[in-house]
Amino acid sequence: MKKAQSSSSIPSVLSSEASPKTGSYSLPAGFFLAISALLYLGNAEGCYHHGHFSASVYEPYADLRSIPSADGEVDRVNVGRQLYSLRGCVACHQPNGMGNPANQCPPVAGSDWVLTEGAGRLIRIILHGAAGPMVVNGQTWNGNMTPFGPVLDDEEIANILTYIRQAPEWGNNAGEVTPEMVRAVRDATADRTAQWSAAELLRIPETE
């Protein structure tokens, strides 16, 4: 029968087994390759998708007017294109800008009222509306344009009218309309409550 190990020898055995052994341990080369690949891919992902750390890259803009163009300015044509749909213009004047004979809404694509040198007449129409016969490109329309001045601000009106006057898909290429231009007309016609007639509008110079 084997004798029990003496208590005096136990510490030496434990000490011998627990002591670290000298020498070195080499990690596999594949480990370093994997780490290097992960670091490279992580860096590449950051470079391509950091978006210059701008929240606007991945989140919608707060409103349409804050959408910038390539040079950092508000792109009135693109903003106006969206407002043209969102504010109901498209329902009457149609996506192609050709108007709607069924409800006597005249065209804005290629319209001789839209492509004038100045935008004073158009600004008045969108601010206060227009009613009665109006000859557009040689054709008489007898529509009733709703006043939008109470519900659209100067910036929105400027964007919509700039889009209508410059819509490349319609071939329009008239000048830009600015909020300052809209404000000037709004202030000058602040007392007006009636819709405009074509005769009144034609008394306003095309260059205004």
Question: Tell me, what DSSP letter sits at residue 160?
Answer: H
CA 132, chain centre distance (Å): 36
State mean pLDDT over 30-59: 63
Among 73, 88, 79, CA closest to 145:
88
Query: Would you give the DSSP letter of residue 204?
Result: S
Same domain as 69, residue 84: yes
Mean pLDDT (the chain, rounded) = 83
55 and 70 in a single domain? The answer is no
Verify that 46 and 84 share a domain, yes or no. Answer: no
On whether both 68 and 55 belong to a single domain, the answer is no
pLDDT digits (tens, 9 = 90+) for 15-31: 555 555 555 556 677 77
Structure tokens that stand for 172 in this block:
């329009």
Same domain membership, residue 109 and residue 195: yes
In a domain, residue 1? The reply is: no
pLDDT, tens only, 51-68: 555 554 445 554 555 555
The pLDDT value recorded for residue 56 is: 47
Q: What is the CATH number of the domain that holds 88?
A: 1.10.760.10
Whether residue 47 is found in the same domain as residue 137: no
Q: Are residues 164 and 105 in the same domain?
A: yes
Same domain, yes or no: 126 and 35: no
Q: According to the model, what pLDDT value does residue 19 have?
A: 57
Tell me which residue range forms the domain holding 50: 29-59
In a domain, 15, yes or no: no
Q: With pLDDT > 70 as the criterion, what percentage of the chain qualifies?
A: 72
Helix 154-166 vs helix 179-188: angle between axes, to the nearest 10 degrees? 120
Number of domains the chain is built from: 2
State whether 54 and 69 are in the same domain.
Answer: no
Q: Are 95 and 162 in contact (CB under 8 A)?
A: no
* 66-121 pLDDT, tens digit each: 555 555 567 999 999 999 999 999 999 999 999 999 999 999 999 999 999 999 99
Statement to judge: residues 147 and 113 lie in one domain: yes
> Cβ distance 64 to 87 under 8 Å?
no
